[in-house]
Amino acid sequence: MRGLFITLEGGDGAGKSTQIKNIKSFFEKKGLVVVHTREPGGTPISEKLRDILLDSNNREMEAVTEMLIYAAARAQHVRELVMPQLEKGSIVICDRFLDSSIAYQTYGRKLGDMVEIVNGYATDGLTPDLTFWMDIDPDAGKERVSKMGDFDRLEMEERDFHYRVYDGYKKIAENNPERVKRIDATHSVEEISEEIVNYLEEICEKRGL
C-alpha cells in the first residue's frame, strides 16, 4: 500500500520543526517507517540548490530564476526520495512542498500561473495527503526568527513580500479545505501538538494504519 505524504507549511518562525518531531514520534509509536525530509533539499543535489537559493549574498537573483531552481530541487527530491519511499509504504513528512512555491513565487513574487505549470512537471502530479499550515502573522514570525541568528535571503525580503506570502497561504487553505488544516501557531506547543494528533488519528483511521 502506498505510504502517507504529510507536509508542513507556513512562514518563518511558525514552529514547523518542533511539530515535525512530534508527528514523527506519533507514527513511530505505531511501528511505521517514517522519513523526515525538507524543501528545498532532501537529496544531495537538492541541498546544493538550497544553498544557492538561501544564500544572502544572492540578493540579485531574478524571481523566475528562483522559481526554476526551486522546481529543479523539487523534481530531484520527488523522484529520488519522496516517491520511492511512498512506494515502499513509508510515512514521508516534508518541511515545505509545492504550497511554498505557490505562496512565495505565485503570490510573493507575483509570477502567476507559470509557477503551478512548471511545478506540475517537477512534482509529476504528486500531492500531499495532508498538509498542516502553521498560521502565524509575518511580523510575529520574523520576531521569532530574529532570536535564532542571521536571516537567509528570503527572510531578508521586505515586509510587504511576507504579507503577500501570508495571503497566498490563506488562499491555498481556503481552496483546499480537505487537505490543508490551519493550525494557529501562536498557541502553546502542547496545544498545537494535540490538535495535529487529532487530525493524524483521523487520517490513520481512514487508511487503516
Residues 6+ apart with CB under 8 A from 25: none
Residue 145 in this model has a pLDDT that exceeds 80: no
What pTM was computed for the model?
0.93
Q: Is 149 helix (H, G, I), strand (E, B) or coil?
A: coil
Question: Domain with 41 in it: what CATH number?
Answer: 3.40.50.300
Report the pLDDT averaged over residues 130-150. 83
Amino acid at 105: Q
Provide the pLDDT for residue 147: 67
Give residue 16's domain range. 4-207
Neighbours of 37 (CB within 10 A): 20
List, for residues 26-39, the tens digit of each pLDDT value. Answer: 999 999 999 999 99
Cβ density class 76-107: b for 16+ within 10 Å, e for less = bbbeebbbebbeeebbbbbbbbbbbbbbbbbb
In the chain, the number of structural domains is: 1
Residue 74 in this model has a pLDDT that exceeds 90: yes
The pairing of beta strand 34-38 with beta strand 180-184: unpaired
Best CA proximity match to 27, nearest among 134, 98, 177, 130: 130
